């Protein structure tokens, strides 16, 4: 299953030979069939609009003395123009720009609209809704603590997630494969599993020697249930004929479990891994608020305690980027492991 990039390319080559031009093309945005100049100009135009709002529209609300937000807009403008300049020369960049430019352009413009609604027109009340300078400025000025919080969240999340997944794979395969384990394990799983991991917090705080360990335990528990459930159901629904074929090929039980049942259950296992990741984010944020005095979840409520809403939104933005990056990594792993499904299912 560990295929290198060359191998993958070879596979695609063969695939396209077997089945003539069809599903092997890369994801294409709806607008990418023909590149219009508006598409490529989206980022510079968006940045210019936002800058115009920033510098030309008079402010009604007091604004932080920093100038990080216009700096960011200038950087975006510069990058957008640089992209335009390099556009004819780099094939990879062309693809990326065709796909990303409309989205990024609209996002930049949204920042301008936001500033218009907050700092300029004062439509949303302070201190709950600061303008872009308030948010972006506080992100930059507090970068040390934010970085530290992100790092702690990452450590906590990955340790809890991996411990949970490892235990879940063991229990899931056991329950799915052995009828006795199924008899005893399934009722336990069905009764205890649906309790949200966060509901165990009072017990976890009593049992665990430290807040950090209790948080790791809670995240593991949150991941454990969906992964176990889906692994078990995937294993037990392995097509009997695969197992029959393997037996007539001389397979021993270890082969049947590790080389037939588990690969056959892989699509299911990945659904469990994705569900578990979702619940682990939730549990992470709650656990950081309760016992652990670090991490992004803690940072958000700490900043809220000081009524520094700029920092709250800054942390939320970091959180969004952090969680979606982890999600993307898991998608990449799935694409790698389940590459054989390409063409079987709607990818």
Partner 1 sequence: MVAVSEPATIEGSSLRVRGTSKYFAAVNGAAVGALALDKVSLFVSAGELVSIVGPSGCGKSTLLRLIAGLTVASEGELLVGDEPITAPSAERGLVFQDPNLFPWLTVRRNIEAGLVARRVLKQERGQVDKFMRLVGLEGFADAFPHHLSGGMAQRVALARAMINHPKVLLLDEPLGALDAFTRMRMQDEVLRLWQARRTTMLLVTHDIDEAIYMSDRIVIMTPRPGRIEQIIPVKMNRPRDRSSPDFLGLRSDILQTMHFAGRSLGGNGA
Q: At 239, give phi and psi (nearest 5°).
A: -60, 125
Q: How far apart are CA 148 and CA 246, in angstroms?
A: 51
Q: How far apart are CA 44 and CA 50, in angstroms?
A: 10
Closest to partner 1 by CB, 33 or 248:
248
Q: Closest separation between CB of residue 13 and partner 1, Å? A: 9
Beta-bridge partner residues of 345: 342
Cα-based torsion angle of the residue sequence 226, 232, 233, 237 in order, rounded to the nearest 10 degrees: 160
Q: Closest separation between CB of residue 343 and partner 1, Å? A: 6
Answer yes or no: are the C-beta atoms of 174 and 261 closer than 8 Å.
no
Q: How far apart are CA 33 and CA 98, in angstroms?
A: 9
Q: Closest separation between CB of residue 243 and partner 1, Å? A: 9
Q: Closest separation between CB of residue 175 and partner 1, Å? A: 22
- HSE, CB side, 13 Å, CA atoms: give it for residue 265: 30
Closest to partner 1 by CB, 262 or 284:
262
Query: 3-state class of 204 per DSSP?
Result: helix
Q: Is 124 left (phi over 0), alpha (psi -120 to 50) or beta?
A: beta
Q: Closest separation between CB of residue 254 and partner 1, Å? A: 10
Footprint on this chain of partner 1 (rule: CB under 8 A) = 1, 7, 10-11, 14-15, 17-19, 239, 241-242, 244-252, 255, 259-260, 263-264, 266, 339-344
Closest to partner 1 by CB, 148 or 335:
335
Closest to partner 1 by CB, 92 or 250:
250
Closest to partner 1 by CB, 57 or 339:
339
Q: How far apart are CA 336 and CA 288, in angstroms?
A: 32
Closest to partner 1 by CB, 5 or 85:
5
Q: Closest separation between CB of residue 268 and partner 1, Å? A: 13
Own/partner pairs, 16-22, CB within 8 angstroms, 24+ separation: 19/343
Residue 338, Cα to own-chain centre: how many angstroms? 19
Burial bucket for residue 285 (CB in 10 Å: 0-12, 13-18, 19+): buried
Q: Closest separation between CB of residue 232 and partner 1, Å? A: 19
Closest to partner 1 by CB, 81 or 339:
339
């Amino acid at each position: 299953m560990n295929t290198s990039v060359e191998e993958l390319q070879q596979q695609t080559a063969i695939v396209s030979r077997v089945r003539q031009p069809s599903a092997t093309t890369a994801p294409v945005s709806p607008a990418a069939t023909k590149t219009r100049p508006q598409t490529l100009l989206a980022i510079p135009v968006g940045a210019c609009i936002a800058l115009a709002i920033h510098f030309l529209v008079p402010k009604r609300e007091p604004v932080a003395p920093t100038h990080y937000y216009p700096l960011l807009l200038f950087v975006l403008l510069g990058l957008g123009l640089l992209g335009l300049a390099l556009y004819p020369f780099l094939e990879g960049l062309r693809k990326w720009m065709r796909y990303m430019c409309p989205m990024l352009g609209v996002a930049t413009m949204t920042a301008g609209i936001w500033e218009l609604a907050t700092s300029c027109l004062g439509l949303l009340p302070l201190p709950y809704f600061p303008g872009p300078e308030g948010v972006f400025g506080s992100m930059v000025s507090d970068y040390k603590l934010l970085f530290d919080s992100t790092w702690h969240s990452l450590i906590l999340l990955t340790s809890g997630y991996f411990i949970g997944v490892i235990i879940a794979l063991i229990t899931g395969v056991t329950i799915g494969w052995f009828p006795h384990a199924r008899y005893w394990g399934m009722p336990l799983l069905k009764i205890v599993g649906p309790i949200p991991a966060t509901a165990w917090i009072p017990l976890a705080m009593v049992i665990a020697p430290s807040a950090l360990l209790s948080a790791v335990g809670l995240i593991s528990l949150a991941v454990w249930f969906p992964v176990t459930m889906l692994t078990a159901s995937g294993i037990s629904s392995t097509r009997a004929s695969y197992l029959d074929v393997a037996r007539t090929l001389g397979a021993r039980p270890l082969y049947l479990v590790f080389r037939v049942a588990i690969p056959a259950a892989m699509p299911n296992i990945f659904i469990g891994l994705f569900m578990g990741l979702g619940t682990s984010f939730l549990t992470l944020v709650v656990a950081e608020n309760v016992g652990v005095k670090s991490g992004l979840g803690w940072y958000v409520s700490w900043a809220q305690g000081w009524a520094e809403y700029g920092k709250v939104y800054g942390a939320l933005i970091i959180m969004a980027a952090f969680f979606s990056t982890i999600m993307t990594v898991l998608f990449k792993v799935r694409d790698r492991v389940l590459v054989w499904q390409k063409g079987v299912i709607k990818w």
